[in-house]
Amino acid sequence: MTLQEAQTYLLRRARERGVELEALATGSRELTLRARGGDLEEITEAESAGIGVRVVTGGKTGYAYTEELTPEALDWMLAEAVENAELQADTDGFLPQGRSLGRHDLLGEGLSAPVDEKKQVALALEREVQKDPRVRQVGAATYAEREHQTELASTRGAAGGFRSGYAYQMVNAVMGEGASVKQGYELKVSREVAALDPASTAQDFLYKTGRLLGARPLASGRYTAYLEPKAFLALLAPFVSMWSAKQVIEGKSRLADKLGQQVASAVFTLYDDPDHPEGLANAPFDAEGTPTRRVYLLREGVVESFLHNSQTARKLGHEPTGHASRSYKGVLGVAPHNLIVAPGAGVRLEEGVLVTDLMGVHAGANPISGDFSLQALGLKVEGGEAAYPVENFTISGNVFELLERIVAVGQDLEWSVIFLVGASPMVEVADLAFAGA
Amino acid sequence: MLNESTAERLIAHALAQGADFAEVYAERTKSRNLRLLDLEVQEATSGIERGAGIRLFFGTQVVYAYTNDLSEANLLEVTDTLARLKGGGGRVDARGAGGLDFRKTAPAGLHAPERPFEAHDKRWRIERLAEADHAARVGPEIKKVQIHLLERDQEILVANSEGVWNTDRRVRTRYMVTAIAENERGLQTGFAGPGLSVGLELFDLEPPAEHGRAAGEQARTLLGAKPAPAGPMPVVIGNAFGGVIFHEALGHLLETTSVARKTSVLTDKLGEKIASDAVTYVDDGTLPHAWGSSEYDDEGAPTERTVLIEKGVLKSYMVDRWGSLMTGYRPTGSGRRQDYTYAPTSRMRNTFIEAGDASIESLFEGIEFGLYAKKMGGGQVKPGSGEYNFAVQEGYVIRHGRVEEPVKGAMLVGKGPESIQRIVAVAADRKNAPGMCGSLSGSIPVEVGQPHLLISEIVVGGEG
Is B48 in contact with A62 (Cβ distance < 8 A)? no
Which residues of A fall within a CB distance of 8 Å from B63?
42-44
Q: B288 and B198 share a domain? A: no
pLDDT at B99: 60
Tens digit of each residue's pLDDT (9 = 90 or more) over A10-21: 999 999 999 999
With a cut of 90, say whether residue B97 has pLDDT above it.
Answer: no
* Residues of the domain holding A252: 215-436
Give the helix ranges, DSSP H, for B328-381.
360-364
- Residue A407 within any structural domain of the chain: yes
DSSP A264: S
Closest approach of chain B CAs to the CA of A34, in angstroms? 10
Q: For chain A, give the percent of residues with pLDDT over 70.
A: 100
Residue B427 included in any domain = yes
Task: Report phi then psi at B170, rounded to 5.
Answer: -120, 115
Q: Is residue A210 part of a domain?
A: no
Residue B94: the pLDDT is 41
A94 shares its domain with A226 = no
Specify if B42 maps to a domain: no
In B, minimum Cα distance to A222 occurs at B463
Res B96 pLDDT > 60: no
Alpha-carbon gap, residue B413 to B391, rounded angstroms: 9
In tens, the pLDDT along A117-172 reads: 999 999 999 999 999 999 999 989 999 999 999 999 999 999 999 999 999 999 99
- Are residues B213 and B89 part of one domain? no
For residues B445 and A30, give the distance between their C-alpha atoms in angstroms, rounded to a whole number. 25
How far apart are the C-alpha atoms of A68 and A49, rounded to whole Å?
9
Q: Which residue of A has its CA nearest to B392?
A: A364
Region B360-380: mean pLDDT is: 93
Chain B residues touching A137 at Cβ < 8 A: 261-263, 384
Q: B172-204: per-residue pLDDT in tens?
A: 999 999 999 999 988 899 999 999 999 999 999
Q: Pick B47's closest partner by Cβ from A64, A250, A395.
A: A64
Residues B251 and B349 occupy one common structural domain: yes
- The minimal CB distance from A394 to the residues B232, B379, B461 is found for B461
Query: Is the domain of B272 the same as that of B346?
Result: yes
DSSP three-state, residue A183: strand
A vs B, Cβ pairs < 8 A, gives: 250
Q: Which is more confident, B384 or A284?
A: A284
A130 touches chain B (CB under 8 A): no
Per-residue model confidence as pLDDT tens digits over A286-323: 999 999 999 999 999 999 999 999 999 999 999 999 99
Q: Are B149 and B257 within one domain?
A: no
Q: Is the domain of A39 the same as that of A79? A: yes
B373 with B238, same domain: the answer is: yes
User: Domain boundary at B224, B248, B283, which?
Assistant: B224
∠ Cα A274 A157 A313 (to 5°): 50
Determine the residue type at B307: V
Tell me, yes or no, whether A186 and A244 share the same domain: no
CB spacing of B413 vs A394 below 8 angstroms = yes
What pairing do the DSSP bridges indicate for beta strands B164-183 and B103-105?
parallel
Q: Is A293 in the same domain as A411?
A: yes
* CATH assignment of the domain containing B145: 3.30.2290.10
Cβ neighbours of B71 in A, within 8 Å: none
Provide the domain count of chain A.
Answer: 2
Going by C-alpha positions, the residue among A389, A350, A436 that lies closest to residue A181 is: A389
Q: Is A134 touching B (CB cutoff 8 A)?
A: no
Residues of A in contact with B47 (CB under 8 A): 52, 64-66, 77, 329
A301 and A235, same structural domain?
Answer: yes
Same domain, A105 and A238: no
Write phi, then psi, for B241 (nearest 5 degrees).
Answer: -65, -10
Predicted confidence (pLDDT) per residue in B16-58, tens digit: 988 999 999 999 999 999 999 999 999 999 999 999 999 999 9
Chain B, nearest residue to A44 by Cα: B64
Global confidence as pTM: 0.92
How many domains are there within chain B?
Answer: 3
Domain match, A159 and A265 both: no
**Among candidate residues B102, B135, B166, the one where a domain is terminated:** B102
Last residue of a domain, one of B174, B208, B224: B224
pLDDT at B89: 40
The overall average pLDDT reported for chain A is 96
Residues A195, A238 within the same domain:
no
ipTM attached to this prediction = 0.90
What digits encode the pLDDT tens for the residues A80-113? 999 999 999 889 999 999 999 999 999 999 999 9
Q: Are residues A114 and A259 in the same domain?
A: no
Domain holding B94, by residue range, is 4-29+47-102
Q: Residues B133, B67: one domain? A: no
Q: Is residue A269 in some structural domain?
A: yes
d(CA A15, CA B151): 30
Enumerate the residues of chain B whose CB falls inside 8 A of the CB of residue A50.
49, 68
Which residues in chain A (355-394) have CB-CB distances under 8 A to chain B? 359-360, 362-364, 366, 368-375, 391-394
Tell me whether residue A400 is in a domain: yes
User: What pLDDT, in 10s, does the model give residues B138-168?
Assistant: 999 999 999 999 999 999 999 999 999 999 9
Whole-number Å distance between alpha carbons of A244 and A306: 6
A62 to chain B, any CB pair closer than 8 A? The answer is: yes
With beta carbons under 8 A apart, name residues in chain B contacting A433: 227, 230, 462-463
Residues B86 and B198 in one domain: no
| Residues A91 and A225 both lie in one domain | no
Residue B380 lies in a domain: yes
- End residue of a domain, out of A151, A172, A203: A203
Q: Do A371 and B378 touch (CB under 8 A)?
A: no
* A233-256 average pLDDT score: 95
Pair B129, B92 in one domain: no
Q: Indicate if A161 and A236 belong to the same structural domain.
A: no
Residue B116 falls inside a structural domain? no
